[in-house]
Chain A
């Protein structure tokens, strides 16, 4: 269990008062003697009160869609503010207050502009961490395993919650996949982001497509699913349901990249975001993401429970086989018959593959 310490910036050896409502939550052993925890916090790490993982991210709340029709829904600003007030999250409150509203409803145009600004910024993170290359290194081994098992091309790779489609556009621009019979598709519920992804792909004449809709629906289903920083947005039953939806007739594998939680991740992320990000929302949500991210064990266990016909595990948890954690790890899953060819194809990178069950 973790404990928030109001108005203190907490380090293991000393305490420095900070501004109102801003505090750090440190690992269980250090904080248990200080105060009881009012929130059901999951991972025992260091992060400010604003980054209590029990709360949603700002971008989870300021854009809402009807789950059936995918139509954009009006968002009541006061309800969003109330949510963050419950968590005494002053950073989120300030960021949401700054968004214009009409009749207490968030201005959709202002929200869309903000979302584009945030996603442009987030792309920088992917660029700095060479995320495209990381995906390609693993994806090509998965695709080869599919081919070795008689799954004929074209193979459809679907990026779930693609946003402005960095991963898919990078694969289209920098790899020969599209010319090798791999269809690169990005799917997102946010129509504005999909329009932007389509515009950007057209601007560089990239062989990929972006679709507004449900990535697991019959019309958009893929042979391989991938995502980046999406899994932690799904909590509880929604997370289990998301995993179960991979069990489609044609789906053979999935690669879901997300932050790897560890003791210094929120602090490192905070430092990185303060330096690199400019919008308050990107700074807030970026750090909260690391606090909300699932552990590798949790991801793998959930996947194994949800998908009996798949073999699941974590890829790339540590750097070069050392205990040093990577910023991102990958929940990897594939039909069991693909595993031998996949393992063989990994070569020296097999050291990065955890237990596949």
Chain B
């Protein structure tokens, strides 16, 4: 269950990364299909990261001499991570929900006061969440897996951003 929640959070993070890295790169007015594609890219990136993490987990479990204890250790670390990631995800979803209100002022304010700061603290929060999870872990394998997941999570946005930047540069070069 804990693993499933972490996977869902990673997928949500991927969706939002896909959207965020595509913003400001398409000057059309009707952007629904553009952002839909961006969300799909983000989701796909999160799936790739999740698969890599799952393969790493399987490898560690396969070769670990103390498998049952390691599983308990991993579960305990993952549960600790949720203490950080779940409230963050709830805050992000709440600020996104505010944008459904029909007031332009409320929607703008949600961007300035909630989404902006939440975006700003994302890398820091990833770092804190993983460290909080693996800090009191018993096995080095747990710590290694935690750091692998952290690297993957932080890489998603960087990779998506790089790809979006390349696409934009090509498009602008074709115009001027």
Contact = CB atoms under 8 A, between A and B. Distances in A.
A147 interface: no
Contact of A133 (B29, B104, B175): B104
B24 interface: yes
A192 B175 CA distance: 10
Contact of A124 (B23, B104, B165): B23
Contacts of A109: 176
Given A120-B24, A130-B104, A174-B29, A276 B116 contact: yes
Interface in B114-130: 116, 119-120
B173 interface: yes
Contact of B28 (A192, A200, A271, A272): A200
A177 to B, nearest CB: 14
A134 B173 CA distance: 33
Contact of A271 (B31, B107, B108, B116): B116
Contacts of B119: 275
B93 interface: no
Interface in B17-34: 23-31
Interface stretch (A95-103, A162-170, A231-239, A241-249): A162-170
Contacts of B168: 117, 120
Contacts of A169: 29
B166 to A, nearest CB: 13
Contacts of A174: 29
B30 A276 contact: no
B9 to A, nearest CB: 21
A116 B176 contact: yes
Interface residues of A, number: 42
Contacts of A276: 23-24, 116
Nearest to B173: A113
- The winner among A112, A128, A196, A274 for most chain B CB atoms within 10 A is A128
A272 B113 CA distance: 10
Contacts of B112: 268, 272, 327
Contacts of B175: 116, 196, 199
A102 to B, nearest CB: 16
B27 A113 contact: no
Interface in A119-138: 119-121, 123-124, 127-130, 133-134, 137
Interface residues of B, number: 24
A203 interface: yes
A277 interface: yes
Given A113-B176, A116-B172, A275-B120, A166 B108 contact: no
**B-side interface mostly:** helix
Contacts of B173: 113
A173 interface: yes
B111 interface: yes
A320 B105 contact: yes
A276 B28 CA distance: 18
A44 B168 CA distance: 39
A324 to B, nearest CB: 9
A188 to B, nearest CB: 14
Contacts of A278: 24, 165
Interface in A298-345: 319-320, 326-327
A113 B119 CA distance: 28
A60 interface: no
B176 A166 contact: no
A272 B29 contact: no
Interface in A192-209: 192, 196, 199-200, 203-204, 206
23 contacts: A109-B176, A112-B176, A113-B172, A116-B175, A116-B176, A117-B168, A117-B172, A120-B25, A120-B172, A123-B27, A128-B108, A134-B104, A173-B29, A196-B27, A199-B175, A200-B29, A204-B29, A275-B119, A276-B24, A277-B24, A278-B24, A320-B105, A326-B105
Given A112-B176, A129-B111, A199-B175, 19 more contacts: A109-B176, A117-B168, A117-B172, A120-B24, A121-B24, A124-B23, A129-B104, A137-B104, A170-B29, A173-B30, A196-B175, A200-B28, A203-B28, A268-B112, A274-B120, A275-B119, A319-B105, A327-B108, A327-B112
